[in-house]
Amino acid sequence: MRKIHSLIKSKRLRSNLRRSATPQEVILWSRLRHSRLGYKFRRQHSIGKYIIDFYCPENKLIIEIDGSQHLDSEYDQERDEYLKVLGFKILRFWDNEVNKNLEGVLLKIVAELRCVK
């Protein structure tokens, strides 16, 4: 099987995305980093040709934070189908969910993490 994680060709882009994170990504990362939920997460991780916001390798869980640019996005649908075929679970949250209900977002993430095990 060929390598699909953290491909060298996307390293610079992943680094740039980490430096230019949205406010919502910064907020959520502050709660996910250092295994604060009991699980290790990576941010701006690549799988195949796609870069995802947050990834928990232990549970194959992907978390995406979406703004208005993601409304009815064919790109997101194609990407989600590809990732699901590979066995990944995807949770999507809107920017305003992180802004207005961070604890609810974290509860959904923890519930999914515990469910997968």
pLDDT in tens, 30-71: 999 999 999 999 999 999 999 999 999 999 999 999 986 656
32 vs 9: CA distance, rounded Å: 26
- Smallest CA-to-CA distance from 91 within 111, 61, 70, 115 is with 61
* 51 DSSP β-pair partners: 46
86 token code pair: 């590979």
97 token code pair: 């969910």
Judge residue 117's burial from the number of C-beta atoms within 10 Å of its C-beta, 0-12 exposed, 13-18 middle, 19 or more buried: exposed
At residue 52, the 3 state secondary structure works out as strand
pTM of the predicted model, to two decimals?
Answer: 0.89
Task: Please check whether residue 33 lies inside any domain of the structure.
Answer: yes
Q: Range of 19's domain?
A: 8-116
The domain that contains 93 carries what CATH number? 3.40.960.10
Average pLDDT, the chain: 91
Q: Which pLDDT does position 34 carry in this prediction?
A: 96
Task: Please check whether residue 1 lies inside any domain of the structure.
Answer: no
Task: Please check whether residue 77 lies inside any domain of the structure.
Answer: yes
Q: Under a CB-based contact definition with an 8 Å cutoff, are residues 56 and 90 in contact?
A: no
